[in-house]
Structure 1
Amino acid sequence: MSTSSGRLSVTIIGGGASGVLLAAHLLRNRDTDIRVTLIERRGEFGQGLAYSASQRDHKVNVPARGMSAFADDPEHFWRWLQQRGYPSSHGSWVFVPRRLYGAYLEHVLREAGKSNPGRLLVMSEEVMAVRESKNGIETLLANGTSVVSHSAVLAVGHETQPARSRGIAVRVGSERDTPLPADAEVMILGSGLSMVDAWLSLADANHRGPITVVSRNGLLPKGHRDVPPLSIDSADVPFGTSLPYFMRWFRDLVDETKKRGGDWRSVVDGLRPYNQRIWQSWSGHTKRQFLRHLRPWWNIHRHRLPPELHERLVAAVASGQVKLVAAEFVGVERAEGQVRAEIRRRGSSTREKLGVARVYDCGGVSVDVLSSSNPVIRDLVAHGRARADALRIGLDVNEHCAVIDHAGKVTEKLLVIGPLTRGRFFEIEAIPDIRVQAATLAARILSHA
C-alpha cells in the first residue's frame, strides 16, 4: 500500500481525455503542493475510446480552435499544431485526426509532469475498487496493492457496449474485424459517428460492395460550417418549460435566423453555454421525453462531421453504395456461409432478412451505467457506495461532482468527471465542456489544500 503524505493527494482513475485534463489543471498552479496519481489500465494516456483511432480519416468533430486543453488559453492546441508544422489553409478552423489529438493530450500530461517534478505519478494498472478509509480514499489495484489519497476521481469515460447477437455482429477494429472481399455486402447497425468510422475504415480498404446502414430513425450526422454562434441572451431562453414549448421556441429561432440569412448551426452553437442549465431546469418527465424522442435528432445537429467527411458520406449515399434504412434491427444468424440479418422497417410490421458478409455493430457507447463492465463502477454500485442517476445514464452526483450513495449521502472524497456525470449535466462529452468541468473541479480540490 502506498500511503498519502502530508501534502494534498488525488488519485485519478482513468487516463483518457477527462483524466488527463483534470491532472493538467491540478498541476497548473506550481504554488500548490499536491501529488496526483493517474491510473490507466491500458498504459496509454490521453487516448481513451475517442482518441485512440489510428486511421488518418478518423477525425475530431470539433475544429482545432475549440480543442485547447485550457478554456482560458483557447489557442493552446492551435499553437501546438503550428509548432509541428501542421498544414491548414483555413487557419484554426481545421479538423485533425483523432490520433493526433491523442498525442496532444499526451504532450499536455508530459509537460505538466515535467514542470512539476515529483508531483505526478502515472501507473499502468487496473483499478478494481475504491474504499473510504480514515485517511481518505483507498484505491485497490488488480495487482494486490493499493493507493491511499485524500480524494479520488472517477474519469473512466465512455464504455463500449458488447457487440449484439451472440457475437455474430463485429465491432470495428476488433480482432474479428478481418479483411473482407472488396465487393462483399456489409450491414452497419447505427447511423451516428461510430457508423462513420466503420464506413471510413471500409473506404480506406477500397471497399466497393454495397453498405446498408440500419438505424431506427435513419438519420445521418450533419456537417460543420464555419459560422459564428448566435448571441442569445439567457433571459430569452425558456428554461423549465415543457418539451413541446421549448421546441417551438427553438424552431422559431432557427426560422428567424434563416430569414436573416443565417444558419441553423449558429443557433445550435449559440445555445451551447446554456445546454447544461436547460437540462437541469427540465423535470424528470421532460428529460425522459427528450431521450426517447429527440436525442437522435439533437445528436445529428449537435455532434456534426467535418465538412469534407460529410461531403464524402453524402456522395456515397447519392451513388447508392451506402443505403440508409430506417428500421429496427431484430437479430442475426449464420446461414450458408453468410450472415442473415433480420430487420423491421419503420412503419411496417413485416420482418425481412438480408444476407450480407458481415454486420458491424456501431450502436455507440453504453449509456446504462447499471450494465457497466468496469469493475470499479460495478463494485461501487453493488456495495451501495454509488448509485445510478434517475435516468441510469451515469452515476448520481451533486452539483460539485461528488458521488451520491445508495442512501442519498454525498461522498465528498469520491468525485466523478466526464461522461459519467451526464445524468446531471448531459452535455459533458466533448472537450470544450470537459475542460471547463476539469478546471472547476480542480479549483474545488485545490481549495482544500
Structure 2
Amino acid sequence: MTGRSSVTIIGGGASGVLLAAHLLRDPKADIAVTLIEKRGQFGQGVAYSASQRDHRVNVPARGMSAFSDDPEHFSRWLQTRGYAAGGNSWVFVPRRLYGAYLEDVLRQAGQSRLGRLVVLSEEVVAVREGKSGIETVLDNGTSLVSHHVALAVGHETQPSRGRGIAVRLGSERDTPLPQDAEVMILGSGLSMVDAWVSLSEADHRGPITVVSRNGLLPKGHKDVPPINIDAADVPFGTNLPYFMAWFRALVRETENDAGDWRSVVDGLRPFNQRIWQSWSKHSRRQFLRHLRPWWNIHRHRLPPDLYDRMVSAIQRGQVSLVAGEFVGVERHGDGARAQVRRRGTTTRETIDIARVYDCGGVSVDVQSSSNPVIRELVANGRARPDELHIGLDVDEYCAVIDAGGKATDRLLVIGPLTRGRFFEIEAIPDIRVQAANLAARILAKS
C-alpha cells in the first residue's frame, strides 16, 4: 500500500462499477481503485449479463443514468449509438446493452488519470484487517492491502430446489427443449418473465405452468408522473396496518382525481428507505412475510409491451398462473413429475413436465452464503447478519458492523447486501445515490 488513498472493491457488477466510477469521477482526486471480479466481466453481474434481446431493464432509460446529478447521461450514451432516436428516454433497453454502458462508464473513469484504476479477474477468499490497512486475500495465493475494502457482491442465487432437478435459467443444464414440451416455472416475479422470454424467443409453443405462493404477476409500467408527497404527510414510525390504510387511501384519492396508482408508488420512492428504517422489527418482519409480494409487483414493473405480451399468453392459455405451494419434484422418464398444492386446498396435484425452472428469487440468509468472503467474515465475527438475516448489518454510512456491535469504516458494503438497513437498494436509481454518498465519504477521508 502506497501513501495514496486506496480502495479495493470486491465485485464488478453494477454496484462495484458505480462505486468505482464515483470514486474516479473527479480527475484530481488522488485515489487508487482496484476492482476485482472473478468472472472478468465488469458491469454485468447477475442482472446485466442476460443475453436475450427482450431481457430488458425494468426502469425506463431516463432513470438509468450512472449519475443522479446527470440524469441524461445514459440517454446521451444511447443516442450516440443509434438508440433512443429523437431523444426518447421512455425506452426499456436490453439488459446486455445496459451492461455495455456500465462497462463503458468504468472504462472512461479509468482513463481520466493513469494508474488510478486496476481491474483484476480473480476470486477473493478472505478480507482481514491489520495495523497498516485492510488485506484482500485472493484465491491465487496473493493479497493486496488498501485503506478501504468495499463489498459489492450483489445478489446471490440460491441453489435450485427439488434436489437439483429444477434448472436455473441460463445454466449449463438449461439445454434446448422440444417446442411443444410442457414446462413448469417456480416463482412468478421478474425472473419468471425472463424464463418465459427465453422460451418465447425459442418459439416455444408448449404449456407453461407458473407456480408461486400468491400467483401474482408483475404489473406494467405506464408513463405517468409521480405525485408530490410532503414528508410531513408520511406516517413514519406507525404500525403496518395504519401505514397501509394511509397508503391505500392515498391511492384511492389519486385515482378518484383521474390519476394512476403508479404515481403514488413512484411519489413515495424518495421516502422508502426512511419508512423502512422507521418501522419496528416486528413491522418489517410482517411486511416481508405478508406484503412484500404485493409490493414487488407494483414497485418492480415490466416494460408495457412485455407486460401486454405476458398477459396475452395467459389469456390464450399457454401460460397458467397457479397460486399454491410447490411440494416437490422427482425424475420421471426423460422429464420430471412435480407435486403442487393449490392455495386453499389440501390436495396434492401431480403434473408431468419436461423441465422445471426455478425462478424463485435471489434472497438468501448470509449465514448460508456460498460466497467465501461473506462466510469467512461472519464466521470470524468481523461481520454479522442484519436482524432479519437478509443482508449484512451496516451502519448509516455502509460500514460493516461486527459481532460485537462495532462498526469499522475500513470495511464497507454497497448494494443489495445492505438491504437489511435500506431495503430499497436493488435498482440503479437507488444504488447510484448510495455509491455517490459512499464515494464522497471515502474521498473526504483521503
Structure 2: gaps spanning 5 or more residues: none
The residue matched to 1:289 in structure 2 has which SS?
Answer: helix
Q: Does 1:135 align with 2:135?
A: no
TM-score by length of 2: 0.99
Q: Which of 334, 344, 347 lines up with 2:344 in the alignment?
A: 347
Give 1:89 shift: 6.9
Aligned residue in 1 for 2:164: 167
**2:75–2:84 Cα contact (<8 Å) kept:** no
Q: Give the counterpart letter for 2:250 in structure 1.
A: L
Which amino acid is the alignment partner of residue 407 of structure 1?
G
For the residues of structure 2 that align with 1:201 and 1:156, how far apart are their CA atoms? 26
Which position in structure 2 is the counterpart of 1:298?
295
User: Which secondary structure does the structure 2 equivalent of 1:28 belong to?
Assistant: coil
Q: Tell me how far apart the structure 2 counterparts of residues 134 and 346 of structure 1 sit (CA, whole Å).
A: 57
For the pair 1:112 / 2:102, whether they are aligned, the reply is no
Given candidates 203, 207, 226, the residue that maps to 2:200 is 203
- CA contact under 8 A between 1:59 and 1:97: conserved in structure 2? yes
**Aligned twin of 1:369:** 366
Structure 1 stretches of 4+ moved >6 Å: none
In the alignment, what sits opposite 1:286? 283
Aligned partners of 2:383 and 2:401 also within 8 Å: yes
Partners of 1:147 and 1:40 in 2: how far apart? Answer: 15
Contact 1:88/1:94 (CA < 8 Å) preserved in 2?
no
Q: Deviations over 1:387-407 (max 9, x none)?
A: 000000000000000000111
Match of 1:36 in 2: 33
Write the letter of the residue equivalent to 2:398.
C
Cα distance in 1 for partners of 2:397, 2:368 equals 25
Q: CA deviation at 1:329?
A: 0.4
Equivalent position amino acid for 1:344 in 2: R
Q: What is the aligned partner in structure 2 of residue 27 from structure 1? A: 24
Q: Which amino acid aligns with 2:131?
A: K
Give the counterpart letter for 2:327 in structure 1.
V
Q: Residue deviations 1:40-79, cap 9 Å, x none?
A: 0000000000100011000000000000000000000000
The answer to whether structure 1 residue 441 and structure 2 residue 418 are counterparts is no
**Letter of the structure 2 residue corresponding to residue 328 of structure 1:** E
Matches within 5 A, 1:11-410: 11-88=8-85, 91-410=88-407
Q: Secondary structure at the match of 2:188?
A: coil
Q: Does the CA-based 8 Å contact 1:11-1:152 persist in structure 2?
A: yes
**What is the CA deviation profile of residues 183-230 of structure 1, one whole-angstrom value per residue up to 9, with x for unaligned ones?**
110000000000000000000000000000000000000000000001
State the TM-score, normalizing by the size of structure 1. Answer: 0.98
Verify the 8 A CA contact 2:215 2:321 in the aligned structure 1: yes
- Secondary structure in structure 2 of the residue aligned to 1:309: helix
Letter in 1 for 2:158: Q
Question: 1:204 & 1:296 partners in 2: Cα distance?
Answer: 27
Q: Distance in 2 between matches of 1:89 and 1:181?
A: 42
> What CA distance in whole angstroms lies between the structure 2 residues aligned with 1:206 and 1:90?
33
Q: Is this contact kept in 1: 2:84–2:91, CA < 8 A?
A: no
Single out whichever of 299-308 and 23-32 deviates more from structure 2: 23-32
Tell me the amino acid that sits aligned with residue 204 of structure 2. Answer: H
Q: Which amino acid aligns with 2:154?
A: G
Deviation string 1:246-274 (CA, Å, 9 cap, x unpaired) is: 00000000000001000000000000000
Mean Cα deviation higher: 174-183 or 100-109: 174-183
SS of residue matched to 2:329: strand
User: Would the aligned equivalents of 2:79 and 2:85 in 1 still touch at CA under 8 Å?
Assistant: no
Residue 169 of structure 1 aligns to which amino acid in structure 2? A
Residues 247-256 or 24-33, more deviating: 24-33
Residue identity over aligned pairs, in percent, reads 78
Aligned Cα root-mean-square deviation (Å)? 0.8
SS at match of 1:447: helix
1:422 is paired with a residue whose SS is helix
Q: How far, CA to CA, are the matches of 1:313 and 1:32 in structure 2?
A: 48
Give the Cα–Cα distance (whole angstroms) in 1 for the partners of residues 90 and 384 of structure 2: 40
- Whether the 8 Å CA contact 2:189–2:217 is kept in 1: the answer is yes
Per the alignment, residue 7 of structure 2 pairs with 10
How far the C-alpha of 1:90 sits from its partner, in A, is: 7.8
Aligned-pair CA distance for 1:276:
0.1
User: What are the superposed Cα offsets for residues 94-114 of structure 1, whole Å, 9 maximum, x if unpaired?
Assistant: 000000000000000000001
State the shift of 1:364 in Å: 1.2
The Cα of 1:369 is off from its aligned counterpart by 1.4
Displacement of 1:87 in angstroms is 4.2
Contact 2:34 2:118 in 1 (8 A): yes
Q: Please give the alpha-carbon distance, in whole angstroms, between the structure 2 residues aligned to 1:88 and 1:174.
A: 35
Residues 384-443 of structure 1: CA deviation (Å, up to 9, x unaligned): 110000000000000000000111111220000000000000000000000000000000
CA contact (8 A) 2:187 2:212 kept: yes
Stretches of structure 1 lacking an aligned partner (at least 5 in a row): none
Shift of 1:127: 0.3
What whole-Å deviation, never above 9, does each CA across 1:106-126 have from its counterpart, x for those lacking one? 000000001121100000000
